């Protein structure tokens, strides 16, 4: 059983598994659900909206992919965690929607740690700037729970490790600084099928794994 094998690997680190179910049919998701998996991540808001009503209500859905303002209604209040907040404007829009729903939406800030140009996310000074902005203090219906990052797609394990370590150090600085005393600011969403072992080593609390879990092939 692949799921159990993976969970056994995560256990010593105290990390949780977000099973990335993008492009997977509901039967495959149900199969993992029946094995006990409850956290599932989708990267497209529309796909999440379409699948959610077809699957058990106690699934904890996470959004892990890029979110545009006009799709906020599909995920706010419908997901336990949005991993991919990459701008203040987006955070403000999520807050607005959550206010209307009368809820607090948990979010992570996506940080650009990879070398590739194309990946979304903040850098540290942008985060600092946002947190110190008076407009941020007014957002009462979002709760920031940590950081998310994606490493460069490369065979260079040293580079991947440095990028994940950099994200962990950024989390630690924010924990000592702005989020001091706020125990819920603790999540490090990092690690996918190809690099989750390095991510665990560098302090990941939440790995996002898709292909490894859903493909037919066994893993070593
Ligand atoms: C698809 C995806 C994953 C999972 O990738 P795998 O390589 O299939 O494990 C993780 N995070 C994000 C943001 C993704 O889009």
pLDDT digits (tens, 9 = 90+) for 78-95: 999 999 999 999 999 999
Residue 192: CB within 6 Å of ligand 1? yes
Average confidence (pLDDT) over 20-40:
98
Residue 210: CB within 6 Å of ligand 1? yes
The predicted structure's pLDDT at residue 117: 78
The predicted structure's pLDDT at residue 205: 98
- pLDDT beyond 80 at 169: yes
- CB neighbours (10 Å) of residue 212? 18
- pLDDT beyond 90 at 163: yes
Atom of ligand 1 nearest to the CA of 213: 9
Any idea how long the chain is?
A: 220
The predicted structure's pLDDT at residue 153: 94
Q: Could you tell me the pTM of the whole model? A: 0.96
The predicted structure's pLDDT at residue 218: 66
The predicted structure's pLDDT at residue 97: 98
Residue 190: CB within 6 Å of ligand 1? no
Among 18, 20, 114, 214, residue to substitute to test ligand 1 (most atoms within 8 Å of Cβ):
20
Residue 43: CB within 6 Å of ligand 1? yes
Please tell us whether the domain made up of 2-214 is placed in CATH 3.40.120.10. Answer: no
The predicted structure's pLDDT at residue 216: 75
Residue 209: CB within 6 Å of ligand 1? yes
The model's confidence at residue 120, banded by pLDDT at 50, 70 and 90, is: confident
| Atom 10 of ligand 1, nearest CA residue | 208
Q: Where do the structural domains in the chain lie, given as residue ranges?
A: 2-214
Residue 70 burial class via C-beta count within 10 angstroms: exposed 0-12, middle 13-18, buried 19 and up: exposed
Residues with Cβ within 8 Å of 74's Cβ and at least 6 positions away in sequence, in order, are: 45, 46, 48, 49
For residue 67, report the phi and psi dihedrals to the nearest 5 degrees. -120, 125
Q: What is the pLDDT of residues 4-17, one digit of tens each?
A: 999 999 999 999 99
Residue 22: CB within 6 Å of ligand 1? yes
Average pLDDT, the chain: 96
| Gap between the Cα atoms of 40 and 95, Å rounded | 23
């Amino acid at each position: 059983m692949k799921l159990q094998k993976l969970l056994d690997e995560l256990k010593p680190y105290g990390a949780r598994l977000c099973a990335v179910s993008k492009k997977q049919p509901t039967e495959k998701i149900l199969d993992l659900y029946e094995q006990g998996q409850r956290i599932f991540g989708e990267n497209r808001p529309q796909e999440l909206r379409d699948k959610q009503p077809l699957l058990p209500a106690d699934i904890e859905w996470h959004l892990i992919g890029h979110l545009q303002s006009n799709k906020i209604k599909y995920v706010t209040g419908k997901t336990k965690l949005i991993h991919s907040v990459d701008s203040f404007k987006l955070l403000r829009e999520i807050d607005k929607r959550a206010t209307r729903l009368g809820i607090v939406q948990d979010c992570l800030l996506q940080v650009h740690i990879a070398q590739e140009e194309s990946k979304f996310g903040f850098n540290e000074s942008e985060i600092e700037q946002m947190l110190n902005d008076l407009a941020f203090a007014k957002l009462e219906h979002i709760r920031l729970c940590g950081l998310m990052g994606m490493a460069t797609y490369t065979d260079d394990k040293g580079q991947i490790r440095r990028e994940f370590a950099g994200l962990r150090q950024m989390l630690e600085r924010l924990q000592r600084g702005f989020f001091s005393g706020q125990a819920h600011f603790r999540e490090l969403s990092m690690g996918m099928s190809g690099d989750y072992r390095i991510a665990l080593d560098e302090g990941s609390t939440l790995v996002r794994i898709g292909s490894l879990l859903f493909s037919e092939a066994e893993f070593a």
